[in-house]
Amino acid sequence: MAPAQVVHLYWPLTAQHEVDTRPLIAQLQAQDVEVVLPVVTSFETETPTLEHRRYEGPGSLTRNRWDIQEPQHTDRVPPPAIDVVLVPALGVGRDGHRIGHGSGYYDAFLQSVGCPRIALTYEACLVPSLPYASHDVPVTTIVTEQHVLTP
């Protein structure tokens, strides 16, 4: 398998205890991997949509209305160009279903990709299973500070 060239990550909401991806972002950029971050394009609950933009450093980030840092005025990256997606998770079931912030943005996005989907969470937030709906998309890998699991 070839190394990932385009990695979709998230800028962490550290106040909400998301896993801090900033060191990983820096390491990937140092290895010339293209880092892509999500940008909310619809704040309507009926149409949770994201676009994906190249991350070009902290100076390219602007806070949206939910205080999420997003790249602005950088190149858009289409979902088929993404090699791997790392998603935030407040909790993850060992079956691959996750709980985020409850708006469905990542589930809508994950339906459009066929690449590996990795949830980053803390070991204390890993549970046997979580309730899920038919539109929820499970992850293919779970990474905690202690384990790497395949549901």
Q: What's the CA gap between 82 and 118, in Å, rounded?
A: 13
Residue 69's DSSP bridge partners are 63
Q: Give me the residue label for tokens 């589930």.
A: 107
Amino acid letter, 56:
E
Contact in structure between 139 and 117 (CB atoms under 8 Å): yes
The helix/strand/coil state of 133 is coil
Mean pLDDT of 113-127: 95
CATH number of this structure's domain 6-149: 3.40.50.10420
CB within 8 Å of 87: residues ≥ 6 apart? 10, 98, 100, 106, 110, 117, 118, 119, 120, 139
For residue 55, pLDDT over 70 is answered with: yes
Region 132-139: mean pLDDT is 89
Q: Is 2 exposed, middle or buried (0-12, 13-18, 19+ CB in 10 A)?
A: exposed
Biggest CA pair distance of the chain: 41
Q: Is 84's pLDDT higher than 90?
A: yes
pLDDT at position 25 over 70 = yes
Residues 6+ away with beta carbon under 8 Å from 73: 60
| Alpha-carbon torsion (15, 18, 19, 21), positive or negative | negative
Give the pLDDT confidence score for residue 1 in this predicted structure.
63
Say what the pLDDT of residue 141 is. 97
Q: Which of the listed ranges 2-6, 13-17, 35-39, 61-65 does the model predict with the highest average pLDDT?
A: 35-39
Per-domain boundaries in the chain: 6-149
**For residue 37, what is the DSSP state?**
E
Enter the pTM of the model.
0.90
* Listed residue (137, 140, 80, 151) closest to 107, CA to CA: 137
pLDDT interval class at 115 (50, 70, 90): very high
